[in-house]
Amino acid sequence: MVARLHGAKDLRIGTEPAPGPAPEGWSRVAVTSVGICGSDLHWFVEGGIGETGISDPVVPGHEFAGVVREGPLAGRRVAVDPAIPCGTCEQCRAGHGNLCRTVRFAGHGDLDGALQQELLWPDHLLHPLPDQISDDAGALLEPLGVAIHAVGMAHVALGDDVLVVGGGPIGVLSAYVARRAGARRVWVVEPLAHRRTTALRYGAEAAWAPADAVDALEEATAGRGADTVVEMAGTDDAITIAVAGAAAGARVALGGIPSQPRSSFPASEARRKGLTFAMVRRMHETYGRAIALATSGLDLDGLVTARFPLTDAADGFTAAAERAGDKTVVAVS
């Protein structure tokens, strides 16, 4: 069984042939759990992201865990890194596989993703899961990895005051990671009240609605602003709040994925403050750190607020698009 996206809001459940034998260096993986990401919702609701649209039907899903059926890790539960860099280009050789210009990514272009019962995947991108990490939590190691990378790109330092704009799962996890990295205080800006509540459970000092955020931050910092900012909403309004909330000389990591190919920001204010912007491109060698966090106090399962079987994946996407909860997952097997 497979869920294949043919266009905006056109996710079809069907039966397709199982993948053939795993070639050398690859394994057969039975998918167990798939998280629905904000970028998946762009594909589902809008039929694309920015300048990229659906050209051929594709199987979505890049946050996933499974059980290896054939390969060196046969029988093991694993989390799966969804990005397959080429390994030979200048960026890959320099250790920046997340910047590979020819990277193949699950659920994007011609590479089917995880909303299917079995797939083949490179051995070196399979990460064994400790027993204390559930299948759902294993799938959420991918968004956690993005949060880890974003906090690193923001250069969060010991004692920093950190502002996170966007309180979806990756924003909430960014707040958590920033606290674990030594931030003194972390604030989250999020329009949805239930997600502000979630942010408080995951370590935020306070969580504000966008209309209140700038004034509240000014009061909290005596007008100074946040030392570092992580933006995870993907809208111009979010970037505007990020600029307004940043202290002079701050670093702003932009991780939200916009619907359109262009974003804008208050350039005069950013220039006056001397801000540095860093763009967050997925994640970078983060699975080991993510597993360490997930086995030392981070409750990833607590972010899961809805689960759907693969047969009802379209309903899962519709529910996730309504943002009534935090993380929606599809249980494949």
Residue 48's pLDDT is 80
The phi, psi pair for 69, rounded to 5°, reads: -95, -30
Kindly report the pTM of this predicted structure. Answer: 0.96
Q: How many Å apart are CA 54 and CA 114, to the nearest integer? A: 17
Report pLDDT digits (tens) over 102-121. Answer: 999 999 988 999 999 999 99
Helix (H) or strand (E) holding 319: helix 313-322
| pLDDT of 259 over the 90 cut | no
Report pLDDT digits (tens) over 152-179. Answer: 999 999 999 999 999 999 999 999 999 9
Q: 96-109 in b/e burial notation, b at 16+ Cβ within 10 A?
A: ebbbbeebebbbbe
Report pLDDT digits (tens) over 29-79. Answer: 999 999 999 999 998 998 887 777 788 999 999 999 999 999 999 999 999
Domain 2-140+300-331 classification at class level: alpha beta
Closest Cα to residue 41, out of 63, 22, 20, 56? 63
**Residue 248 — pLDDT band, cuts 50, 70, 90?**
very high
The tokens describing 67, both together, are 């059980």
Residue 277's pLDDT is 98
The residues, any chain, with a CB within 8 Å of residue 261's CB and separated by 6 or more, are 50, 51
The verdict on domain 147-279 having CATH code 3.30.360.10 is no
The residues, any chain, with a CB within 8 Å of residue 296's CB and separated by 6 or more, are none
Calculate mean pLDDT across residues 178-183. 97
The vertex-59 CA angle with 46 and 104, nearest 5°, equals 95
Residue 15's pLDDT is 95
Q: What is the mean pLDDT of the chain?
A: 96
CB 77 within 8 A of CB 67: yes
**CB neighbourhood size of 265 (10 A):** 18
Residue 168's pLDDT is 97
Q: How many Å apart are CA 331 and CA 280, to the nearest integer? A: 29
Instruction: Give Cα separations from 226 to 223, 243, 263, 302 (angstroms).
Output: 9, 10, 22, 28
CB 243 within 8 A of CB 274: no
Residue-range domain boundaries for the chain: 2-140+300-331, 147-279
Q: 189-227 in b/e burial notation, b at 16+ Cβ within 10 A?
A: bbbeeebbebbeebbbbbbbebeebbebbeebbeeebbb
Residue 51's pLDDT is 72
* Same fold: 2-140+300-331 with 147-279: no
